[in-house]
């Protein structure tokens, strides 16, 4: 699916950013992209972006829903069928609260703490919609390493906030 070399964090973050660009610009959400990689085989298992699937979906949520469908299981049972050395690349820190009432992405990722070992983030979530996002700390408390992939901040913010009213 790609020629990104193993542990090429910049390459995978660039792919996540390309996913984010597919998300429709709206003033009420960030355009985020995500990629799930099996680090043992360097295989991309899923990609996703904000609003890719129906229901006010976030990028990480889309990845997980697509994996659940692929494996014929519910999202809650994904941990039973996924490899145990996964990395999640996401342009923006996974959300810790959903204003829509949907399960926060942090909680979705934490359910897979036995599979997802590392979350690579491009930027921490700006406090535009949810003040004091605790996603990074919550993931770390669950034993999931959170690693910043630096150098994409300007591009990620530009893509993430497209459609927002600039003050």
- The residues annotated as belonging to the active site are 60
SS3 144: coil
Contact yes or no for 59/87 (Cβ under 8 A): no
**CA gap 84, 102 in Å, rounded:** 26
Q: Where does the chain have alpha helices with state H? A: 9-20, 59-71, 105-110, 135-141, 153-160
Contact yes or no for 89/9 (Cβ under 8 A): yes
Contact yes or no for 116/144 (Cβ under 8 A): yes
């Amino acid at each position: 699916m790609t020629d990104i070399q193993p542990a090429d964090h910049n390459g995978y973050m660039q792919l996540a950013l390309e996913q984010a660009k597919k998300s429709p610009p709206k003033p009420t959400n960030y355009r985020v992209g995500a990629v799930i990689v099996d680090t043992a085989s360097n295989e991309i298992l899923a990609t996703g972006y904000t609003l890719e699937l129906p229901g006010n979906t976030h990028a990480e949520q889309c990845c997980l829903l697509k994996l659940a469908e692929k494996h014929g299981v519910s999202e809650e049972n994904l941990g039973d069928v996924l490899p145990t050395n996964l990395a999640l690349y996401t342009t923006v820190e996974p959300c810790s609260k959903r204003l829509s009432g949907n399960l926060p992405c942090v909680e979705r990722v934490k359910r897979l703490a036995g599979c997802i070992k590392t979350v690579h983030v491009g930027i921490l979530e700006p406090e535009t919609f949810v003040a004091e996002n605790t996603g990074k700390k919550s993931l770390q408390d669950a034993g999931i390493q959170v690693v910043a992939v630096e150098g994409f901040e300007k591009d990620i913010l530009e893509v993430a906030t497209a459609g927002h009213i600039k003050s």
